[in-house]
Amino acid sequence: MELLLALMTIILVANGLVGNRGLVQTAKVRQEQQKLISSIERLRKLNRQLAQQVERLRGDPSALEELARRELGLLQPGEQVFIITDRELQKP
């Protein structure tokens, strides 16, 4: 009887440690939860930045022009582009 009680106790303790709802699984779930919380916070920050950029582009024509020039390489009529490259000096 004592052996059976000891065996059942060992099984219950082992299940409490490594079972579906055991300490090991709980620690893994909490770690994953922290990762997800960090990811959500990072995405919220990015979302706020993008919303600010949208508002800026909607309300400020110069911001839209700057973006078009930078991202699309657009020019105003009459402007010229000069491309300057570095090159090594040739020895005489």
State pLDDT tens for residues 11-28: 777 777 666 777 777 888
pLDDT averaged per 10 residues in sequence order, the chain, 92 residues? 83 73 80 97 98 92 85 81 77 66
Segments making up each domain of the chain, as ranges: 23-73
50 in helix, strand or coil? Answer: helix
DSSP string covering 21-38, please? TSHHHHHHHHHHHHHHHH
pLDDT of residue 36: 97
- pLDDT, position 17: 67
Query: Which tokens in the block code for residue 91?
Result: 């020895």
Report the half-sphere exposure of 71 (CA within 13 A, side-chain side): 6
Residue 24 makes CB contacts below 8 A (sequence gap 6+) with 17, 18
Residue 90 in 3-state DSSP? coil
Q: pTM for the whole thing? A: 0.54
The Cβ-side half-sphere exposure at 76, using a 13 Å CA radius, reads: 3
Say what the pLDDT of residue 1 is. 83
